């Protein structure tokens, strides 16, 4: 069985290293989206320096 938390942390590191490698088409900013309650994804994002900014409502707004 794969150690998922470590695997995802390592994969995130590789993606971000590639994204910010200096080159003409390099990125200036990267975003991270996760479903509410997905604490594992939030933890991996925090390990990579992401910060919480907002909640996006899907489907037009909160349930009524």
Side-chain half-sphere exposure of 45, counting CA atoms within 13 A: 15
- Determine the 3-state secondary structure of 41 from DSSP: helix
**pLDDT tens digits, residue range 1-52?**
556 667 788 888 898 888 888 877 767 788 888 887 888 888 888 888 888 8
The Cα–Cα gap between 2 and 27 comes to 30
Q: Distance between the two ends of the chain, CA-based, in angstroms? A: 42
- pLDDT in the model for residue 63: 58
**pLDDT tens digits, residue range 41-56?**
888 888 888 888 887 7
């Amino acid at each position: 069985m794969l150690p998922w938390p470590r695997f995802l942390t390592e994969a995130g590191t590789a993606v971000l290293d590639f994204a910010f490698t200096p080159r003409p088409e390099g990125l200036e900013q990267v975003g991270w989206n996760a479903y509410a309650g997905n604490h594992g994804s939030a933890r991996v994002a925090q390990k990579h320096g992401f910060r919480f900014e907002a909640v996006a409502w899907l489907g037009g707004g909160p349930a009524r």
